[in-house]
Structures are given as C-alpha cells and as structure tokens.
Structure 1
Amino acid sequence: MAKPDNRADNEAHLQKHIDHTIANLHEAKEYLDEHASEITADEKQAIEAKNDRRQESIKGFVAEKKDEAQQ
C-alpha cells in the first residue's frame, strides 16, 4: 500500500535545503578566499561553477517554498 502524500512539512524541508545550500556556498567562498593561491585555475573554476549551480538551486528552492506557502 502506498504511503499517503503528506506535504505538511514541505516548507520546513525546503527551508532546511535552502539553509544547507547557503552554508555550502559560503563555505566554498571562504575556501576560495583562503586558498586561492594554492589551488589550480581548474579547481577554482570548478568551485565557482558549483557555486553558480548552488545559487540557481537556492532560487528554485525559494520559488518552490513560496508555491508551498500558497497551497
């Protein structure tokens, strides 16, 4: 038997994802600030690209959270 679709805590789950992604974004920025001279250009570019994806994810999470709040 399938579990019922309980979305009561979706906003809380989305906020947790937002907070976690923001923390990872800041941690990566701090890492770049502290170790920029020690990493290769490719590594720096990979971290920056991942941070770009994190920012897009945050936007998506925020939009989804707004949708959940309206339901």
Structure 2
Amino acid sequence: MSKDYKSKPDDRSDNVEKLQSMVQDTIENIEEAHETMKFSSEEEKQKIQEKNKRREQSIKGMRAEIKDEYNYNND
C-alpha cells in the first residue's frame, strides 16, 4: 500500500525574515556568551571564544543567504 505524497511548492517568500531573525538570535547568543565569560574559567573562556567565532561565521553565511534571497524575490 503506497501513499501518494505531493511535494510542497517552494515558498521562499518569508526566508529573508526568517534569516534576519536567526541572525539577531545568534548576535544575542554572542552577547550573552560575552557576559558569561566574566564568570568563567580560562578553559571555559577559550571554548566560548571558539564557539563565538563559529557563530560569527554563521552570521556571515546567513547574511550572504539573505542577499541571495532578497535578490531572488526582487528580480
């Protein structure tokens, strides 16, 4: 017995807003991590710094994707 599944159409209309929200959340996480570092051991500070570097790279990628999505939706 097989089921027929229909794929959903590609709805990219709100991707820019979703990505902008993700960027904002990530920035807030970086800021919170900076506050946490004030009370952390040296080892924990190092881990937080490394994680924040990864977060910053993610933000760069999301911002590039925002530009792509904006261009896609406005062509």
- Give the TM-score band, short-chain normalised: 0.7 to 0.9
Segments of 5+ residues of structure 2 without an aligned counterpart are 1-5
Moved over 4 A (4+): none
> RMSD value over aligned CA atoms?
0.9
The alignment of Structure 1 onto Structure 2 pairs a total of residues equal to 67
Aligned pairs for 1:1-71 (under 5 A) are: 1-32=6-37, 34-35=38-39, 39-71=40-72
Q: Distance in 2 between matches of 1:41 and 1:26?
A: 18
> Which structure features the higher share of helix residues?
1
Deviation at 1:15, TM superposition (A): 0.3
Deviation at 1:30, TM superposition (A): 1.4
TM-score, normalising length from structure 2?
0.83
Segments of 5+ residues of structure 1 without an aligned counterpart are none
Secondary structure of the 1:3 match is: coil
Structure of higher CA gyration radius: 2
TM-score, normalising length from structure 1?
0.88
